[in-house]
């Protein structure tokens, strides 16, 4: 089956690098272009594909729309992954999620309006729901009241996409991911714990009280969810929650990190920063209903614990490469 020509905006990052691997291995994919400014993406994520005639990397910023349009021209499907990955950063830089979030989505849509690309697959996040406690949010839950500028930027991206779909004949699938984990992660709680325990094995500083409880989904499950929806959905605009359906606390993740790094738990002191969340804007408890994506035949292969375990093992395997390229 013909799958066409893909442009991965923000494709040099963690999730994008897995899309690149999967798409280049699929029959029917004619080309994969990564467009990325390498702000949090890494060139070693895609280096192995550089000789492949179906693959191209363009080093560019989304805000440079002329370069973006040139890179996009000829593509049919845009997977939009570019954004500021550091949710806590807005506390000191309040406009970051607008400049490196909402505005990027507007630029991507505008480039699509002016080129051949008419289908967008967008990486949104559970942050659009805001603080719902134990309420399991389905995609039609409302009102949506984000509590971080990151969540606001994801929601703004969604509504911009919806409006472009209706005004300029684009089609879209929007994905509200839970926490995504796996090899080549560039950030996240497991990533931080493994890094910290490698450099200081006798203590682990934990943000909040450790009771934060969320779903962690393995990156391969995420890629399959996105491509399943892309292949099976004909609607102009549709949203999908993508999560495992089970949950794990930050304290349990800390225990798991100690085990993965191979330390004796009785010798590692856990130091809790206190409070019920990691940082201002963090949603401490996240529950997502995933019936819609499951209705298309998708299932996650790993639960939260398995996903975290595999990702931390991969972080340890890639540690030299990873932590050398990411500032502490
Ligand atoms: N990782 C998760 O847990 C998670 C959860 C929900 C949603 N998401 C969303 O999925 C997307 C991908 O996440 P990720 O974990 O792979 O993050 P990432 O930081 O590894 O990837 C983002 C990529 O975008 C690029 N980028 C950022 N700003 C850019 C700009 N102005 N111009 C060009 N490129 C730019 C970065 O260099 C990076 O390669 C993000 O939009 C993120 O918000 C991620």
Per-residue pLDDT of the chain (328 residues; tens, 9 = 90+): 788 999 999 999 999 999 999 999 999 999 999 999 999 999 999 999 999 999 999 999 999 999 999 999 999 999 999 999 888 899 999 999 999 999 999 999 999 999 999 999 999 999 999 999 999 999 999 999 999 999 999 999 999 999 999 999 999 999 999 999 999 998 899 999 999 999 999 999 999 999 999 999 999 999 999 999 999 998 999 999 999 999 999 999 999 999 999 999 999 999 999 998 988 889 999 999 999 999 999 999 999 999 999 999 999 998 777 766 655 4
Determine the atom of ligand 1 nearest the C-alpha atom of 16: 16
Domains and CATH numbers, the chain: 4-180+217-242 (3.40.50.720), 184-214+246-284+302-325 (3.90.25.10)
Query: Strands, DSSP E only, in 215-255?
Result: 216-218, 237-242, 248-249
CB neighbour class for 128 (10 Å; exposed up to 12, middle 13-18, buried from 19): buried
Measure 100 CA to ligand 1 centroid, in angstroms: 10
If you measure from the C-alpha of residue 183 to the centroid of ligand 1, how many angstroms do you get, rounded to a whole number? 15
Per the listing, tokens 């990533």 go with 191
Residue 83 near residue 10, CB atoms below 8 Å: yes
Dump pLDDT digits (tens) for 269-315.
999 999 989 888 899 999 999 999 999 999 999 999 999 999 999 99
Ligand 1, residues at Cβ distance < 6 Å: 10, 12-16, 36-41, 61-63, 81-83, 85, 100, 104, 123, 125, 177, 179-180, 186, 188
Q: Whole-angstrom Cα distance, residue 187 to residue 209?
A: 20
DSSP 121-169: EEEEEGGGGB--TT--B-TT----B-SSHHHHHHHHHHHHHHHHHHHH-
State the distance from the centre of ligand 1 to the C-alpha of 269, rounded, in angstroms.
Answer: 33
Residue with the two structure tokens 């009771």: 211
Q: Report CA(83)–ligand 1 centroid distance (Å).
A: 5
Q: Is the peptide bond before 233 cis (omega within 30 degrees of 0)?
A: no
Q: Which two tokens stand for residue 153?
A: 């930027």
**Integer Cα distance of 16 and 274 in angstroms:** 34
Q: Among 7, 12, 13, which is best to mutate for testing ligand 1, by the most ligand atoms less than 8 A from CB? A: 13
Q: What is the 3-state secondary structure (H, E, C) of 4-61?
A: EEEEEECCCCHHHHHHHHHHHCCCCEEEEEEEECCCCCCHHHCHHHCCCCCEEEEECC
Q: Are 284 and 276 in contact (CB under 8 A)?
A: yes
Q: What is the DSSP letter of 100?
A: I
pLDDT at 324: 64
* pLDDT at res. 186: 82
* Mutation test residue for ligand 1: of 18, 35, 40, 244, the one with most atoms within 8 Å of CB: 40
Tell me, in angstroms, the distance from the centre of ligand 1 to residue 35's CA. Answer: 12
pTM confidence score: 0.96
Q: What is the pLDDT of residue 61?
A: 98
pLDDT at 328: 47
């Amino acid at each position: 089956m013909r799958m066409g020509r893909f442009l991965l905006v923000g494709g040099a990052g963690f999730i994008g690098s897995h899309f690149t691997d999967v798409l280049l291995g699929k029959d029917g994919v004619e080309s994969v272009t990564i467009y990325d400014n390498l702000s949090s993406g890494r060139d070693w994520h895609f280096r192995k594909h550089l000789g492949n005639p179906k693959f191209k990397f363009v080093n560019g910023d989304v805000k440079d729309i002329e370069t973006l349009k040139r890179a996009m021209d000829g593509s049919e499907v845009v997977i939009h992954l570019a954004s500021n990955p550091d949710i806590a950063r807005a506390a000191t830089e309040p406009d970051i999620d607008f400049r490196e979030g909402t505005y990027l989505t507007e630029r991507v849509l505008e480039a699509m309006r002016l080129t051949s690309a008419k289908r967008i697959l967008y990486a949104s996040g559970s942050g659009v729901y805001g603080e719902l406690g134990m309420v399991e949010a389905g995609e039609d839950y409302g009102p949506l009241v984000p509590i971080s500028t990151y969540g606001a930027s994801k929601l703004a991206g969604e509504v911009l996409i919806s409006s472009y779909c209706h005004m300029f004949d684009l089609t879209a699938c929007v994905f509200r991911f839970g926490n995504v984990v796996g090899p080549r992660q560039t950030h996240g709680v497991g990533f931080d714990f493994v890094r910290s325990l490698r450099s200081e094995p006798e203590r682990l500083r934990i943000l909040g009280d450790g009771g934060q409880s969320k779903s962690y989904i393995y990156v391969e499950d995420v890629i399959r969810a996105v491509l399943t929806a892309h292949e099976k959905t004909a609607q102009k605009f549709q949203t999908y929650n993508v999560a495992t359906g089970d949950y794990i606390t930050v304290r349990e993740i800390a225990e798991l990190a100690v085990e993965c790094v191979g330390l004796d738990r009785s010798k590692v002191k856990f130091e809790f920063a206190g409070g019920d969340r990691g940082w201002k804007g963090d949603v401490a408890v996240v529950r997502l209903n995933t019936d819609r994506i499951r209705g298309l035949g998708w299932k996650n292969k790993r639960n939260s614990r398995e996903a975290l375990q595999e990702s931390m093992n991969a972080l340890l395997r890639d540690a030299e490469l990873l932590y050398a390229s990411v500032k502490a």
